[in-house]
Every structure is written in C-alpha cells, then in structure tokens.
Structure 1
Amino acid sequence: MYHNTKDYSDHYQASDLAVQVASANPHQLVLMLFDGLLDELERTKSHIVARRFEHKAASVNKCIDILNALTSALDFDKGGDVAANLSRLYDYCVYRLYHSSHALSVEQVDEVTLILRQLQQGWQQMGLPHD
C-alpha cells in the first residue's frame, strides 16, 4: 500500500489533521488556519530564496486561499468594526503577497508574517481562561 515511510507519514499526518479539524471548535479552527498559514509563509520565503518559482507560486496561492478562508469565516453582523478591520487586514496581506511574489521579495513576506503573527497572538489570547 505504501511505497516508503514518507508515504505512510504523509497519510498519518493527513488523517491526524482530519481528526483535529473534525473535533475543533470555530476558535480552534481559526488558530489551525493561522498555524498553516504561517508555516506556508516560511515555505514561500524559502522558495523565493532558492528561486523555485513554481513552488513559490503554489505556496503564495495556498497562503491566499487560507487568507480568503479566514475572511469568509468573519461574521460581519456580529463582528461589526472588528470584522471589517480584520477583512481589510487580510485583503492587505493578499495584496502584499501578490506583490512579493512578483517582486520576489522576502521582506514583503516578512511584513505579512509580522501582521499575521500579531493577529494569531490576539486569537490565542482570546482562548485563554480569564480570571
């Protein structure tokens, strides 16, 4: 069934992720999206540095897909200005990623990473118990 241990490992990781997603609440799902997005941004940078242009394009597209998923998960009725501001930040990140892809700019990817790490920290803080 599996030709090598990497195939088995990939299958195990995919099924483990499926279990995590199935049992996650919406807050946990957002944090999982941020984790995946930040990992993919690191891959994007490595592809730019190594001049692996096809891989870079695929990584940028994955990042944009995740940002679009985060945007589509926003509840503008309940979230009001916070949801609108998050949407604008996600749109800005998409714009910067498109630009970084064309300019081959690791610095612009770093800018997006910084913004998203700060947002991720905010989401993590929301999940902590309050005294």
Structure 2
Amino acid sequence: MFSPAYSRSLGQAASFASAYRSVGVETSLADASPHKLIEMLFDGYMEALKQAQGYLASGQVELKGRALSKAARIVDEGLKASLNLKDGGRLAQDLHDLYAYLTLRLTLANVRNDPSVIAECERLMQPLCEAWKAIGPQVNAGRLN
C-alpha cells in the first residue's frame, strides 16, 4: 500500500518524535529542583495508574501489566528510594510503610486484574500528590527546606 521510502520516512518521523520527547524529558529533569523531581514522580505514578485502568477496561492485559509495573517502579525506585529514613523521623518511616503497602497492592491489582485495587492505590496517593504540589510555591520561594 505504501512505498518502502514512505514507510521508512514514517519510521524516521516516529524516531525523531521519540527522541524529541526524550530530550524534552531529559531537559526537564536536568533543570528540575529536588521538589519538582518528586512532583514529576507523583505525576508519573498517577498517569501510570490511569493508563492501567484504561488498559484493563479495554482488555489490554499486557499493557495494563506494563503500566502497573511502571507505577510500582516509580514508588520503589523513585519515591521510596528518595526517603531519608535516618533523618526523616516518623514521617519518613510512615511514607516508607505506605510505599511498601502500595507496591504490594499494585502487584495484587496486576495479578488479579482488579480495578478496585488500582483505584485504592490512586486514592491513597492522591492526598500526598496534592499536598506536595501545594507546598511547591513555598519551596520555590525558599520558605521550606
């Protein structure tokens, strides 16, 4: 239907678009404050959950699994790993415990294809996301450390 040259140019366009998005993300990461990096993790987590819900609803089980795995990695390798348990006191420990719970629940949601567990993980994280975003202006103004 399409010429090989046309197909090749479509592939190149997709590669360029992917590279452009990658550069945009890398630039955002390089320029982001520590507070903004955590905000980006929260946003990525919530987006991955929304994707998982959509994939599950449409029967795309493999893509649902990938989205839930991404959400779990964000929690484990991003949010939980960024905690300072030594100096963070009870709050850091409570967040650590919450993140461990979320990782278990995300795994269960994946194994059982259970949208209610995905919704639970979203509900548990939503207040933290909102609170983190709410303190952003104060952090950026240097009023919080």
Return the alpha-carbon distance in structure 1 between the equivalents of residues 133 and 58 of structure 2. 33
Pair 1:20 & 2:28 matched: yes
Is 2:68 the counterpart of 1:60?
Answer: yes
Distance between the aligned counterparts of 1:14 and 1:37, measured in 2? Answer: 18
Deviations 1:58-88 (A, max 9, x none): 1111111100121010011221100000011
Aligned-residue offset at 1:5? 4.1
Q: Distance in 2 between matches of 1:10 and 1:43?
A: 19
Q: How does 1:93-108 map to 2 (within 5 A)?
A: 93-108=102-117
**Which has the higher mean CA deviation after the structures are superposed, 39-48 or 2-11?**
2-11
Unaligned runs of 5+ in 1: none
Identity value in percent: 24
Q: CA RMSD in A?
A: 1.7
Which of 100, 114, 122 is the matching residue for 1:91? 100
Larger Rg, first or second structure (1 or 2): 2
Q: Deviations over 1:39-75 (max 9, x none)?
A: 1111111111122121111111111110012101001
Q: Are 2:123 and 1:114 equivalent residues in the alignment?
A: yes
The 1:22–1:100 alpha-carbon spacing in structure 2 relative to 1, beyond 3 Å, is same
Larger relative contact order (Cα-Cα within 8 Å, sequence gap ≥ 6)? 1
1:2 touches 1:8 (CA, 8 Å); kept in 2? no
After TM superposition, the score normalised by the length of structure 1 is 0.90
Secondary structure of the 2:11 match is: coil
Paired with 1:43 and 1:5, the residues of 2 have a C-alpha distance of: 25
CA shift in 2, pair 1:8/1:103, >3 Å? same
Structure 2: gaps of 5 or more residues: 1-8
TM-score by length of 2: 0.82
Please give the alpha-carbon distance, in whole angstroms, between the structure 2 residues aligned to 1:2 and 1:33: 32
